[in-house]
Amino acid sequence: MTETTQKHLKKLYKTLKLLKKYEHAVALMNFDFETAAPPCARDDENDTINFFANESFRISNSKATKETIVYLYEHKDELEELDKALIDGLYDEYLKTKNVTPSVQLKWLKVYGRAYTDWLAAKKAGKFRYFKKSLAAVVAAAREEINLRENALPDFYDNLLNDCEKGMLKAELDGFFGELKVGLIDLIAKIKSSKQVIRRDFLSRKVPVYKQAEFSDYVLKLNGYDFDKGYLTTTEHPFTMDISRYDARVTTHYYEDMFLSNIYSVVHEGGHAIFMQNERAEDYEHFINDRITNGMHESVSRFYENVIGRSEEYIGLIYPQLKRVFSEELKDVSERELYEAVNIVEPSLIRTEADEVTYGLHIVIRYEMEKALCSGKLKVEDVPAEWNRLYKEYLGVTPKTDAEGVLQDVHWTSGFGYFPSYALGNAYNAMYLKKISEDMDFKGAIRRGDFAAINEWMKERVFKKANVLTPKEWLKDITGESLSAKPFIDYLTEKYSKIYCF
């Protein structure tokens, strides 16, 4: 490395260290905003968040910083591999934002902040009209942002997809979702024709929040979540936030009459956090710890939630503790009844409460709607009606209010392109399920509660290279195969044919 390149890299590292301080502060404020801020304080708190986020943007897009990034990109052959990965990502971001002024970026931040506040109010009222203006503003902000990019792809929605899952564009996703939809509809038809009766009366029994909270701590610790590097609290829409290197926080939402909702929310979000807590130290040292794509993350969270969490072996593992904590509520429920109940397949309205099988159709609906919305074929004012139409067509259910319909998810307050990641995550983890099952006694490890062995495999095979590879490269590195919906459909068919006896 030449002396000049070394100086530029040292200068860049100094800037990135400063930016990490801003990002840390903004993350802490965002976490407070979504978990604890009282309604009347949200506007003021959002203004403060926007101020610090905008200051961070000013630093990262200053003339000096941009010149340093361009120089290092042009001389990246002199850099070691992790620094090359850093510069490739920064240069890509530079092309996206070089024409964006701090004032324009602040305007967008205000749009997204206002959208979140309006969404909360609209969901509480169950009326889309309170969110309509903000949703239109989010679409406009996203389009304006793409139009200012120097490296923009020709199609508007492809840019948003690429931001969430690099390289996964409509041309490939249309085929993937087509294959997924056909496979799911066929499987659901077989399940519907089954005469198997699954007991469910206990699923709506009231379970006090304090008992659910105790069990939440238990499953997080069991699965390998480190409370010395994290924290659990509540929010409206559960999420996980990577605050800093040693701080990955989990949130949940407790419903007294839906105790399973919290259990699987916690296992899901805990999966995200376990991924975060096991990133390599060198990724942090080279400032590339934030390169994991949404699909990679969702593959892990849904691996813990469904592949592990809804398995017969896991239910057997947690059953004694569940019976101890919920001694009154589940005193007449057998282990087999619990296993079958957590795997009931039934079309429903709420994505986050959906079973493994019908869940994919919830994502198909959102993918098709996002495409139509971003292309202009679907107008904002027609979004609720189209949502209801697709739910009726694909799942046979119709929302009674917008709160259980189009307003159920928070995602559209900050943009588009994330939803496909959930379905991609299912496909990814079905593919590496085959690999982990070849490499170790996976089911036996779950049965024994040996999450040290499972998490070590995940750390070495799934987590290790996630920050430096594209999704396609990463999947190939783990499994040796390319993306397909078939392994996921095969996994579901094998599992549910035994539960529903077909």
Give the model confidence (pLDDT) of 292-308 as tens digits.
Answer: 999 999 999 999 999 99
pLDDT range class, residue 129, cuts 50, 70, 90: very high
Average pLDDT over residues 139-143: 97
Residue 3: pLDDT over 90? yes
pTM for this prediction: 0.92
Residue 353: pLDDT over 90? no
pLDDT of residue 476: 96
Q: How far is CA 20 from CA 8, 54, 59, 284, 297, in A?
A: 18, 14, 11, 10, 21
Residue 22: pLDDT over 90? yes
Residue 179: both structure tokens together = 């294959």
Spatial CA neighbour of 442 closest among 298, 339, 337, 311: 311
Spatial CA neighbour of 263 closest among 230, 216, 313: 216
β-strands 247-252, 240-244: how paired?
Answer: antiparallel
Euclidean distance between the first and the last CA atom of the chain, given in angstroms as a whole number: 64
Q: At what angle do helices 129-147 and 356-375 cross, to 10 degrees?
A: 70
The model's pLDDT over 202-230, given as tens digits with 9 standing for 90+, comes to 999 999 999 999 999 999 999 999 999 99
Average pLDDT over residues 477-502: 96
**CA–CA gap between residue 48 and residue 435 (Å, rounded):** 46
Q: How many CA atoms lie within 13 A of 98 on its CB side?
A: 17
Spatial CA neighbour of 487 closest among 413, 426, 442: 426
Spatial CA neighbour of 229 closest among 237, 240, 238, 216: 240
Residue 432, judged by CB atoms within 10 A of its CB (0-12, 13-18, 19+), counts as buried
Highest average pLDDT, of 237-246, 310-319, 345-354, comes from 310-319
Query: Residue holding tokens 């999450």?
Result: 451
3-state secondary structure 314-367: HHHHHHHHHHHHCCCCCCCCCHHHHHHHCCCCCCCCCHHHCCHHHHHHHHHHHH
| Amino acid making up residue 468 | V
Residue 200: both structure tokens together = 């469910």
Residue 332: CB atoms within 10 A of its CB come to 9
Q: Where are the alpha helices (DSSP H) in 148-169?
A: 156-164
Residue 128: pLDDT over 90? yes
Is the CB of residue 238 less than 8 Å from the CB of residue 273? no
pLDDT range class, residue 56, cuts 50, 70, 90: very high
Q: What is the CA radius of gyration of the chain?
A: 23
Residue 352: pLDDT over 90? no
pLDDT of residue 367: 98
Enumerate the β-bridge partners of residue 75. Answer: none
pLDDT range class, residue 120, cuts 50, 70, 90: very high
Enumerate the β-bridge partners of residue 460. Answer: none
The model's pLDDT over 153-203, given as tens digits with 9 standing for 90+, comes to 999 999 999 999 999 999 999 999 999 999 999 999 999 999 999 999 999
Average pLDDT over residues 366-387: 97
pLDDT range class, residue 237, cuts 50, 70, 90: confident
Mean pLDDT of the chain: 96
Residue 346: CB atoms within 10 A of its CB come to 15
Residue 91: pLDDT over 90? yes
Average pLDDT over residues 392-411: 96
pLDDT of residue 236: 87
Question: Hey, is 6 helix, strand or coil?
Answer: helix
**CA–CA gap between residue 283 and residue 274 (Å, rounded):** 16
Is the CB of residue 151 less than 8 Å from the CB of residue 163? no
**CA–CA gap between residue 97 and residue 119 (Å, rounded):** 27
Helix (H) and strand (E) counts in the chain: 21, 3
Active-site amino acid positions = 269
Residue 1: pLDDT over 90? no
Average pLDDT over residues 417-435: 96
Query: Residue holding tokens 């750390």?
Result: 459
Residue 348: pLDDT over 90? yes
Q: Where are the alpha helices (DSSP H) in 342-466?
A: 356-375, 383-395, 420-439, 442-448, 451-458
pLDDT of residue 305: 97
Provide, rounded to the nearest whole percent, the portion of the chain with pLDDT above 70.
100
Dihedral sign for Cα 189, 192, 198, 203, please. positive
Q: For the chain, list the domains and their CATH numbers.
A: 3-152 (no CATH), 170-500 (1.10.1370.30)
The model's pLDDT over 443-479, given as tens digits with 9 standing for 90+, comes to 999 999 999 999 999 999 999 999 999 999 999 999 9
**CA–CA gap between residue 152 and residue 146 (Å, rounded):** 6
